[in-house]
Amino acid sequence: MFNIILALFTGILIGWNFHSFFLALNTPKILRTDINISQAFILDTNESNITTLTSPKVKKEDKKKPSEKNHKLIKTSFYSLLHNGLFSDAMVLYQQGGDERILFYRSTLKEYFEKESITNQEKTIRELLEYIEIDPENGESQLFLSDIYKERKEYIESIKILNELIEHNTKIDNEVVYNALIDTSRLYIDSLRELKSYEEIQKFLEAEIQRGTKSSFFILALAKHHIFMQSFNTATILLKEIEFDEEYAEQAKELLNKIDKNETNKEEYTYKLPLKKIGSHFTIEVTVDNTPLSLLLDTGASLTLLDEEKVPSSLTLINDNVILNTAGGEVSAQLKMAHSFIVGSIELEDFKVTTSPFIQEKADGLLGMNFFQKFKFKIDQEKSLLYLSEK
């Protein structure tokens, strides 16, 4: 038994010696293992860092077109500000941009304004006005603003912008602006004519002629207006000014021929007095002994009737009990004498009138036949004019 244990111990000792011998011959690869662990750690770090350190190709591609990438980033930022309701902030960025960036900004703004004007014109107008103050040289934006005003029938604002574009000689094509000015002016004149605002038409056209922009067009338009108002002498004088104009000579000569050949176009009436329409009736402004009054035209009234509460005390009483026949029936009134009765540029002295209570909105009485019988007269209801000529 003892011998067996001794033999086992001896074997273990011999085996350990062999193990130590082989270890001495084959050194453990601890350093290589450490290196492998370090490499594995690097591979597990942030991917972007690895790309930066080990991917020179990516860096090389970044350097190829840095301007294009920067512009895309800038344009995206500008676009985001616009569409997030930060227009003023976008304008700050606009002012900080150089020439190259401005091209991106302008193209972005053009697209933005076009879309916004469809849904919110008032907001677009406010922002366009803000932008134009920053970049007044961008004529396209001003022309676009003029188009919005025209679409909204705010013709005066539209025309004002177009005249400024012409005056400041922006880079935009002048013919485009001229055509827009003529088109908008026609629309404005038509709108005034529908409202029977004839004095406003004349004032507008005279002001544009004085300005000197496309004056031949406005001279022709003013001549047409005077023909419409049957002021043929004035129309003829205007047409003579453009009789040999390169663009409008043919139209001017055609109108002159019509005036000369049509005998009915000769002025039959000395006076043309404007009327105001109230419902289905017309009123005219008169002055009675220095007191201004507004009278309804009533050819059915035998005498002119004035509201007794509004007549001046200077009137002389003739008869305190007369019966006045009017279109509305008989009226009890007082007969009086006005020392001065003025209608337009016509003044009548010692003109008889009647006075009585008169209740009528926007009128102080009736202009009766004792006035009309003194003249040859015509009432043009379409043009709201009273034509008078002494018999």
Tens of pLDDT, residues 64-96: 444 454 444 445 688 888 888 899 999 998 888
Two structure tokens written together for 268 = 């039959």
Establish how many alpha carbons lie within 13 A of residue 380's alpha carbon, considering only the half-sphere containing its beta carbon: 16
d(CA 186, CA 304): 41
What single-letter amino acid sits at 100?
Answer: E
**pLDDT score of 151:** 95
For the ranges 90-94, 183-187, 293-297, 304-308, which has the lowest average pLDDT? Answer: 90-94
Phi-psi region at 362: left, alpha or beta (left = phi > 0; alpha = psi -120 to 50): left
Please tell me whether the overall predicted TM-score, pTM, comes out greater than 0.85 for this model.
no
Provide the pairing of β-strand 305-307 with 346-356.
parallel
Percent of the chain with pLDDT over 70: 77
**Res. 23: pLDDT tops 60:** no
Give every CB contact of residue 370 below 8 A, 6+ residues apart in sequence. Answer: 302, 303, 304, 351, 352
The confidence band for 31, taking pLDDT boundaries of 50, 70 and 90, is very low
**Res. 50: pLDDT tops 70:** no
d(CA 117, CA 16): 95
The confidence band for 262, taking pLDDT boundaries of 50, 70 and 90, is low
**pLDDT score of 97:** 76
User: Averaged over 93-104, what is the pLDDT?
Assistant: 81
Q: Name which of 385, 57, 382 is nearest 194 in CA terms.
A: 382
End-to-end CA distance of the chain: 172
Looking at the DSSP assignment, which residues form a beta bridge with residue 126? none
CB 175 within 8 A of CB 165: no
**pLDDT score of 69:** 45
CB 201 within 8 A of CB 193: yes
**Res. 42: pLDDT tops 70:** no
For the ranges 25-39, 84-98, 153-167, 306-320, which has the lowest average pLDDT? Answer: 25-39
Q: Name which of 371, 370, 365, 354 is nearest 307 in CA terms.
A: 365
Two structure tokens written together for 186 = 């026609």
